[in-house]
Amino acid sequence: MHQSRLRGAPTGTNTSEKRMARFAQQKVLVTGAGSGIGRATALAFVKEGAYVIAVDLGKASLKETAQLITAKGGECETHVADVSDQVAMTALAKKVHAKHGALDVLVNNAGIGASGRFLETSIETWDKVHAVNVRGVMLGCKLFLPAMVERGHGHVVNTASMAGYFSAPDLPIYAASKYAVLGFSEALRMDMKSKGIGVSAICPGIVNTNIVATTVSEGEAAKWQSGAVAFYKKRNYGPEKVADAILKAVQHNRAVVPVSPEAWAGYYLKRFMPGLARTLASNPLPFMK
């Protein structure tokens, strides 16, 4: 049993009560909590008894998340911050530590999408995506891990993607950023093991969130972005399933967690049939034809 699960856990024999209080009295910080996977994760932790510190760049979306949490009888606080901004994140860490001390769970979830063949993508888009998807994860860990290590237990969740091991020619920027998150998470997990800190990389597949609609699409990819949005909606694999996988990853200290059938299929194909994986990845999805 992972240490972070123990803090505040009830001692009674009621199985339902134990399950519902898995994260009772724990402080959980979630970035990108204003929508999608981040919002679903914040709500899932609150349901399990946690106090959530919700972080996002959008003030209005954060307010909506907070309203949903309080409507369910949960507790939270919100902070507007750009995860790629060292000054802003340092200030956030100081506020959080002054009020709460070390976090029990850190969920580095904030991210942005990008699509387009390599020669059609701009350097500005590379910089923008990596600032949020990679630097944002690094800063979260750099600023919140020391207090967790000093206390001797906790868990870090980094949202990677199926694209972190099963890339496609139309996703060079996004795949590069998510490969980086996955590799960083695996290295960090080995580093933190002796310090009582668990690290999990979550790798969602096709999940119905607004990331596709807000993806920076360049070149030919811009022509099928609307089709991608419709495809994801029709697929209708909700972010709540990713949130559930995140809670289980923390509870059981899992290392790499694909989420959705296609994410698991890609994971095993890449490991055991890499040639077939490359062939499948190079074929366009229906909305790209």
What average pLDDT does range 241-245 have in this prediction?
97
Residues 6 or more apart whose CB falls under 8 angstroms from that of 272 comprise none
pLDDT at 284: 65
The residues near 99 (Cβ < 8 Å, ≥ 6 apart) are: none
- Active-site residues, by number, are 174
pTM of the model: 0.89
Domain count, the chain: 1
**Cα–Cα distance measured from residue 50 to residue 154, given in angstroms and rounded to the nearest whole number:** 14
Quote the Cα angle for 263-103-189, to 5°: 45
Tell me what pLDDT residue 1 has.
33
Could you read off the pLDDT of 129-145 as tens digits, one per residue? Answer: 999 999 999 999 999 99
3-state secondary structure of 196: coil
In one-letter notation, the amino acid at residue 148 is M
Structural domain boundaries, residue 151: 3-288
pLDDT of residue 3: 37
pLDDT tens readout for residues 75-127: 999 999 999 999 999 999 999 999 999 999 999 999 999 999 999 999 999 99
249: domain CATH number is 3.40.50.720
Instruction: Give CA 238 to chain center in angstroms.
Output: 14
Contact at 8 Å (CB) between 120 and 41? no
> How far is it, in rounded angstroms, from Cα 91 to Cα 95?
6
Please report, in angstroms and rounded to a whole number, the separation of the first and last CA atoms in the chain. Answer: 47
DSSP sequence for 261-281: HHHHHHHHHHHH-HHHHHHHH
